[in-house]
Structure 1
Amino acid sequence: MSDSSPWQSPDSSSADGTKPLAPPAPSSAYTAGSAPAVAPGTPGTPPRYGTAAPGWTPPPKPGLIPLQPLGLGTILSASLLVLRRNPRPTFGLSLLIMSLVTVGSLVLVGIVTFAGVERTLSASESDAATIEAGATAGLILSAFFAVALSLVGGAILQGIVSLEVARGTVGERLRLRGLWNAAKGRIGALIGWSALVMVAVFIGIAVVAGVSVLLFTFGDTAGIVFGVLTMLGGFLIAGFLAAWLGTFFAFVPSALMIERLPLMLAIRRSWSLVRGNFWRTLGILLLIMVIVNIVSSVVTAPLSVIGGLGVGLLNPTGNEEAGIVGFIVLYIVTIVVSVVISAVTIVIQAAAPALLYIDMRMRKEGFDLELARFVEARNAGDLSVPDPYLTLDSSPSRAKPAS
């Protein structure tokens, strides 16, 4: 076939012996080797192959989360990723704090209880009531000390985890010393806020219990009925207030630590961020709490059952000394497992509000754009860019990013 012959299909002749027609000649609007005369993208024009059409570009993910408003799955996965991404200042510190709090509380309460029981048993009948009252007061004070110790430890851990979430969002991986330096000057405010919440809870419980006991003292049926109703109504109201105020104030620790705001500004900041997103915030926090509690129960409950069966199998004769030793070993193992599980769960529950805080700032303030600009400038070597987390209310001059 010569170059001048018309185009033919591989089968040069059809069934009736005639040759196929040549294809129509290209129009002047789209000749071979030339661009179409009509602008690209106009309906009816052929596509220009070899050029990529513009498409959606996913948001950058420099570290813990993508720089865009977060969905439920992202918040759940990021809460777990905090542990895996930087385990030393998160899980390591949590394990240390929970161990100190648990051991300190058990030792103190155990010593006070043992001393009170020993003094009560060795006292005479005339002094027994006085010594028993003193032992009870000492036990209550030791319990308050244990609560205060856990409050301080929990506040420190919550602050460190909040800062880890904030720095991890922009791709920074700080050691414990760097996170502690970033938390300087704010731990006291966070402990004060936690103490304020604890005092409010204690006052609420004391008021409900006091009114109920006062009604019970009347002794008649009406007093008992009103006392029970007061107790039930008080706990229902307390639960409602805890859910309502707890949700609106859920971002106070993040505002205190990340933005370094004063306490009153941090309270107003949390309220403004949650307003309009109350049910979403409450639902996510409740869901994470339920998941964490179910997982911890699934891990610890079989341990108690298996441990009890194991003690019985290892001591079939019922030897008293062997039973005491088995009980002590089981108790220690249960405490160790509980401390490890608590160290994991408290990090997850502390990370969730910090992630929601950043998510709300992205949704309401376009904070994802500020974070993206910060990451881009830092990757370009511009270390003078201010920290995007700090506001004008938190510092006279915007601080430089943590190193």
Structure 2
Amino acid sequence: MSDPHWPAPGQSPWPPPQPGAAPPPASPAPWDPPAGTTPSPVWPAPEPQGHGAPPAYGAPQPQFAPPPPYGPSGYPPGQPGPLGWAPPPKPGLLPLRPLDFGALMWAPFRALRRNPGPVFGSGLLVQLVVALTGAAAFIPFFVAAFSRVEYADAGSQDEIIAGAVGGSLLLLLVPIALGIVGTAFLQGIMVVEVASGTLGEKLRFGELWRRTAKRIWPLIGWTLVVGAIVLVAVLLLVGVIIAGSLLGPGGLVGAIVFVLIAALGLVVLGAWLSVKLSLVPSAIVLEHAGLGAAVSRSWRLTDGYFWRTFGVEFLVALILNLASQVITTPFSLIGGIVIGLVDPTGTGSGAVVMIIVYLATIAISLVIGAVTAVVQSALIAVIYLDLRMRKEGLDLELARHVELRDAGVPVGDPYLPPAAPAAPAAFGAPTSWT
């Protein structure tokens, strides 16, 4: 169905004028106001609203100001958003958060660099005291023994030599005992240093030693227990070899094979126990725990983190061992070459040079031994703090402690163990409200 008024394409919508028809009316003239009146003002047409016509092609585009720079929280400077991330506080040596593997491994070296005087001085002093005491005990003894052998007759020389061997074995207990005390004391020093350094404190030599001396006897007791266990294991293996030798060649061979297999098993067991019980000195010093409580704390803290703890301790020990070999081996080679050049025939003319070379080698060994002992002791303390942050939220307690301390509020010891929760009352038991 079509519309009769709809024009075909190309036609005008109005019919053409007919011949003789009147023309269409003209447009009305504009309205003129009556005489004597004031015409109304003519308001301009409003400008069109919006963005306006787009610029012509090739015309310069409008420029807009760049947005303000944003900070790390995702908000403009001065306007931190409520969900912005901030790094954990780090008032001192360690950041107050659980440490990743790299931070855990390199933190002991930072402890040595942060407070080198008291830390390295303590390690060097311990090594020096042990070495000098051993030398003071052995040198006069051997000089006297060799003098007696030189002037004794042939029948008495064997007795003198046997007595010298027995005496040297007894004297060997002196540096061993001093080494036990020095190792225990150095472990305590590094525990105190790492714990105070984490809170932003930098202790002097005397204060570091005074704080450690309060827990020296439990530390010595623990070191004696470890040394006694190792000594008993060695004596058992030696006893097996002696018993096998009494049975003849076949028994000796069987005993040696048994000892080798048992030694491998003891090495594995010792590595496992050393990791599980490595945090005992830290618990003794920081938590004021006895031997039994410290052993229990170390065992619980390392649950679930054995391989991580073992890996960090093994890598740090490997790095220290390689570094010490790299440093000491060239000195030993150079010392041998110098002695050979000065006294190639071995007449004794290069005795002074030989003594100087040996003294330099001993001094370098003492320095490296001090650095090794300090770093390994600091590593144990860092692992202890990391495990308490992961398991007990120690990082939150330390952050609260630092905030209150900086605000001037009296604070206690943040390293004391968390209090055990109170046991719930028995069902049906009367409740006291007083």
TM range (shorter): 0.7 to 0.9
RMSD: 2.6
1:354 equivalenced with 2:397 (yes/no): no
* Partner in structure 1 of residue 280 of structure 2: 252
> In the aligned structure 1, how far is the partner of 2:346 from the partner of 2:313?
48
Q: How does 1:26-45 map to 2 (within 5 A)?
A: none
* Corresponding position of 2:348: 321
Residues 113-135 of structure 1: per-residue CA shift (max 9 Å, x gap): 23223223332333333222211
User: Structure 2: where are the runs of 5+ without partners?
Assistant: 1-45, 60-73, 420-434
Aligned equivalents of 2:332 and 2:372: distance in 1?
A: 19
Query: After the TM superposition, which residues 4-403 of structure 1 pair with which residues of structure 2 at under 5 Å, given as runs?
Result: 4=47, 7=51, 12-14=55-57, 52-53=80-81, 54-220=83-249, 222-315=250-343, 318=345, 320-382=347-409, 384-391=410-417
**Alpha-carbon deviations, 1:23-65, whole Å to 9, x = none?**
xxxxxxxxxxxxxxxxxxxxxxxx9978554332111111001
- The 3-state SS of whatever aligns with 2:172 is helix
Question: Does the residue aligned with 1:68 lie in a helix, a strand or coil?
Answer: coil
More helix by share: 1
Matched to 1:182, the amino acid is R
Aligned mates of 2:103, 2:76 — CA distance in 1: 37
TM superposition shift of 1:169: 0.7
**Whose Rg is larger?**
2
Please tell me the residue identity of whatever aligns with 1:339. L
Please state how far the C-alpha of 1:294 moved relative to its aligned partner: 0.8
Structure 2 CA distance for aligned equivalents of residues 307 and 8 of structure 1: 91
Where in structure 1 are there 5+ consecutive unaligned residues? 20-46, 394-403
CA distance in structure 1 between the partners assigned to 2:112 and 2:80 by the alignment: 40
- How big is the shift at 1:4? 4.8
- SS of 1:381's equivalent? coil
Residues 247-256 or 273-282, more deviating: 273-282
CA distance in 2, matches of 1:73, 1:248: 21
- In 2, the alpha carbon distance for the partners of 1:194 and 1:349 equals 15
1:144 to partner: Cα distance: 1.5
Deviation at 1:356, TM superposition (A): 0.3
Cα distance in structure 1, aligned partners of 2:302 and 2:266: 20
SS at match of 1:260: coil
Instruction: Name the residue aligned to 2:36.
Output: none
CA distance 1:49–1:74, change in 2 (3 Å): closer
Question: Are the structure 2 counterparts of residues 255 and 127 from structure 1 closer, same or farther at C-alpha, using a change threshold of 3 Å?
Answer: same
TM-score normalized with structure 2 length: 0.78
C-alpha displacement of 1:286: 1.1
Q: TM-score, normalised by structure 1?
A: 0.83
Identity of aligned residues (%): 41
Aligned-pair CA distance for 1:8:
6.0
Residue 320 of structure 1 aligns to a residue whose secondary structure is coil
How far apart in 1 are the matches of 2:115 and 2:75? 48
2:179 and 2:348 mapped to 1: Cα distance?
34
Give the aligned residue type for 2:222: W
CA distance in 1, matches of 2:288, 2:200: 20
Q: CA deviation at 1:303?
A: 0.8
**Aligned residue type for 1:355:** V
Seen in structure 2, the aligned counterparts of structure 1 residues 86 and 373 have a Cα distance that, compared at 3 Å, is same
Name the CA distance, whole Å, in 2 between partners of 1:349 and 1:287. 11
Looking at structure 2, the residues matched to 312 and 136 of structure 1 have their Cα atoms a distance apart, in angstroms, of 32
Tell me the alpha carbon deviations over residues 275-328 of structure 1, each in whole angstroms, 9 at most, x when there is no partner.
121111111111111111111111101110111112223445x36233322221
